[in-house]
A and B are shown apart, each in its own frame.
Chain A
Amino acid sequence: MSSKKTTPNKGVLVDLTKCVGCGSCTVACKLWNNQSFQNPENREEEFRNAHGENVKLDSNTWTTVEHMKVQKDGKEVWRYVKRQCMHCQDPSCKSVCFANAFHITEEGAVQYNPELCVGCRYCMIACPFDIPKYEWEKVMPSVMKCQFCSSKLAEGEAPACASVCPTNALIFGDREALLAQAHATISANPNLYIDHVYGESEVGGTNWLYISDVPFGDLGFPTNLPMGKSVPENIHGFTRFTPFIFAGGAALWTGVHLYSKRRHAVAEAEGNEKHD
């Protein structure tokens, strides 16, 4: 666990009202992480952008900006939604990974190491935001996801995406300070913003935070998540019995085995006697 952590968690505050849908962040992500614009599952297809309508995260697209037409005050408007790993403070992907491929850095980035990945895809099922993607096209596939530019963070730099945003829709900083800024922004303009900082307490808190003028549910954010408690915490009530179930199961089946072995031996001995 990250018990030795001394640096405050870093985060990014996304102000969705300021996003103009230019997709700079998606290009920065591709440049910095050296990823192609090809669809990994369809090499025939020409390159495609990571921003636009109906864009999806995949193994070489760690962030997207989805162009969405939504209703706002009875009018159809464009809203642009950046998607990437939320970098949970207590991530369920990490808790389910038996290969220790996930690791939380000093700055709070949920870093994923493909060299340790065995390709089981537990994290894909565990993630409440549907972030990790699989390299379906590879012979030895790994899972892939946004790393929060952990190497840049370690040097005090903003992640690639946040560093290029022309409208400051993405602001990088200490999570606690960003949280205060988010609430200040909302209270300074309560008629514009929805009074909710997405990520403040969703699944126990994420390092990426969003504020918006359109309900988060309309923008494709999951809204049925446990609040204030992380997924691992939430299911601890029954997952803590796992060792006992395993040990109990082993003991039970060993007993059954020994019992049936004994019965078999007895039956065989009796049969032999009869034959004689």
Chain B
Amino acid sequence: MQKHEEVENKGISRRRFLSVMAGAGVVGATATMTGCSPVSDPSGTGWLPNQYRSASAIPAQVKGRVPLDPNNRSIVRNDEKCILCGQCIEACEKVQSVFGFYELPVQDDFICVHCGQCSLWCPTGAIKEREDIEKVNAALNDPETIVVVHTSPATRVGIGEEFGMPAGAWAEGQQVAALRALNFDYVLDTNFSADLTIMEEGSELVQRITTGGVLPQLTSCCPGWVKFVEYYYPDLIANLSSARSPTMMHGSTIKTYMAEKRGIDPKKIFNVAIMPCVAKKFEIDRPEFNAAGKYVHNDENMRDMDAILSVRELANMIRQAGIDFNSLPADSPYDQYEGIGSTAGLIFGNTGGVMEAAVRSAYYLITGSQPPELLYHLEPVRGLEGIKKATLNIPGVGDVTVAVASGLGNARKLCEDIRAGKADFQFLEVMACPGGCIAGGGQPRTAVPPQDWVRQSRIDTIYAKDNAGDVLDSKENGGTINVKLSHENPEIKKIYEEYLGAPLSHLAHELCHTSYTSRADSIKPKNV
């Protein structure tokens, strides 16, 4: 009893505690209600770029950012990294003439041609490609799956930059070796399918010119450009070459021709391509690209291509695997069957290259004789100029004028000319990205925003290789061959002899050509 009282005396009694608390509560409530508590403005504890801090009457010149579908197949954006600098709008509107070139309100689509230039301009890396590394790793780790990879022309003058090499460094062999080290089963070259494209697209051009078809013919290798036409110039779809892009020709022929040659079950093949491009990720999912399954294997669910990796993604895979890229052999050759490309296929990687390669082979297809020396150095279509033209005299046909545009803003000008009936050319090459694939949306971010000196370094390397004309023969054959013409590529000759028959044959049409979709319902283009 006594002990209990002692404890109670040391502490505070319940009555006293309650009265203190009630007193504090009354004081607090009074202070609150009369507004005596310190009140600071609770808004704006953060930050905004200076351009948005002007008085409201003065609009910021560069505002906001481009709309991006959260389900965009090619690119994703991390809002946490976005600082609203407006660079993506610069790329999309001023360079590519996509954003701001359609009427509002929008229809049922987030207008995007998937070129990924915004991902090259974005200073914080908030915009990047939608990664497919996990999908590819799953295929690589599955012992049943045969993973076939092919590498685009422009990748070999880009990937070295990811590993400290100077801009435009030639790293073809290292890239092939790295892919083998990553356990890809067959490493093939997209230069081969570029040659195949020349055969099909060149033959189509000859056919259009000689039979009075729709001219000018427009190239169709670039999925960004193709979608641009489908949105803004659906009336020019008939002008687009029906030839698929090299990637898609490669996909369908790997699952047919190469599978047959190697005796592989095509159902087990997983087709990957290393691309300087993020629009390819959108392209492979286009519903029409299931030709190998539809026409040959009786399985419409089989896709011609299964995954696309950008150069940046491949570089990440190489780093994650702990491979020392710089110490890999520089002379690792590709595998045979669709693994050898001419240097005409190689120059597909930069602006003007498709045209030059096409002209070389078209000359042969029309005249039956090899092209003159001039066509190995078609200077008027080379370089970083946005719009280039050249006129050639082809015996039996006369003067043919060709035009080249890189950057969709430049392409738009020529499209307007065609529409107005003012086109003074018969064949137009368009690459959506300024400078062509060498500066594609999937290439290393060596300069941000992209710079011409980087583009030019990559282009210089490509033309130097074309000038020499030497390409490594397949791993199986060994050695080097000199081939500057698509129609001279021994593997091209073989695929026509052994499988496709001839350019524009029935089978070639099924596997190497495609059709396009007007997207006029999804957009109301502005009059420009």
Residues of A within 8 A of B (CB): 16-18, 20-24, 26-28, 30-35, 37, 47, 49-53, 67, 69, 75-79, 98-100, 111-116, 118, 147-152, 154, 156-158, 160, 162-168, 172-173, 192, 213
Contacts and interface: CB of A to CB of B under 8 A. Distances in A.
A37 B48 CA distance: 16
Nearest to B82: A27
Contact of B108 (A76, A99, A173, A213): A76
Given A20-B104, A78-B109, A111 B43 contact: yes
Interface string B102-127: 00111111100000000000000000
A85 to B, nearest CB: 11
Interface string B16-55: 0000000000000000110101111111111110001111
Contacts of A32: 43-44, 46-48
A14 B7 CA distance: 68
A15 B83 CA distance: 24
Given A22-B68, A166-B89, A115 B39 contact: yes
Contacts of B80: 37, 47
A79 B105 contact: yes
A16 B52 CA distance: 22
Given A157-B53, A173-B56, A165 B83 contact: no
Contacts of A76: 108
Contacts of B40: 115
Given A37-B79, A163-B52, A17 B41 contact: no
A51 B108 CA distance: 17
Contacts of B105: 16-18, 77, 79, 192, 213
B84 interface: yes
Contact of A163 (B48, B67, B110): B48
B131 to A, nearest CB: 14
B166 to A, nearest CB: 36
A113 B108 contact: no
B84 A164 contact: yes
Contact of B33 (A49, A51, A99, A162): A99
B32 A31 contact: no
Given A20-B106, A32-B47, A49-B79, A160 B52 contact: yes
A111 B44 CA distance: 12
A37 B79 CA distance: 8
Contacts of B104: 17-18, 20, 167
Contacts of B41: 111, 147, 150-151, 154
Interface stretch (B57-65, B154-162, B192-200, B216-224): B57-65
Given A50-B79, A151-B41, A165-B63, A157 B106 contact: no
Contacts of B79: 23, 26-27, 30, 37, 47, 49-51
Contacts of A162: 56
A152 B32 contact: no
B70 interface: yes
Contacts of A23: 65, 67, 79
A151 B84 contact: no
5 contacts: A17-B104, A22-B68, A28-B52, A34-B46, A172-B56
A216 B476 CA distance: 68
Contact of A150 (B43, B66, B89): B43
Nearest to B62: A166
Nearest to B77: A49
Contact of A165 (B32, B64, B82): B64
Contacts of A69: 108
Contacts of B54: 157
Nearest to B41: A151
Contacts of B52: 28, 160, 163-164
Given A31-B47, A32-B46, A116-B39, A158 B56 contact: yes
A113 B37 CA distance: 11
A194 to B, nearest CB: 12
Contacts of A116: 32, 35, 37, 39
B67 A21 contact: yes
Lowest 8 CB-CB distances: which A-B pairs, in order? A166-B64, A34-B46, A24-B64, A147-B43, A158-B56, A22-B67, A17-B105, A20-B67
Interface string B501-516: 0000000000000000
Given A27-B84, A34-B47, A100-B35, 19 more contacts: A16-B105, A21-B110, A28-B84, A30-B46, A32-B44, A32-B47, A34-B45, A67-B70, A78-B106, A115-B37, A147-B41, A149-B43, A150-B44, A154-B41, A157-B54, A163-B56, A164-B60, A168-B59, A192-B105
A37 B38 CA distance: 29
Nearest to B35: A100
B60 A151 contact: no
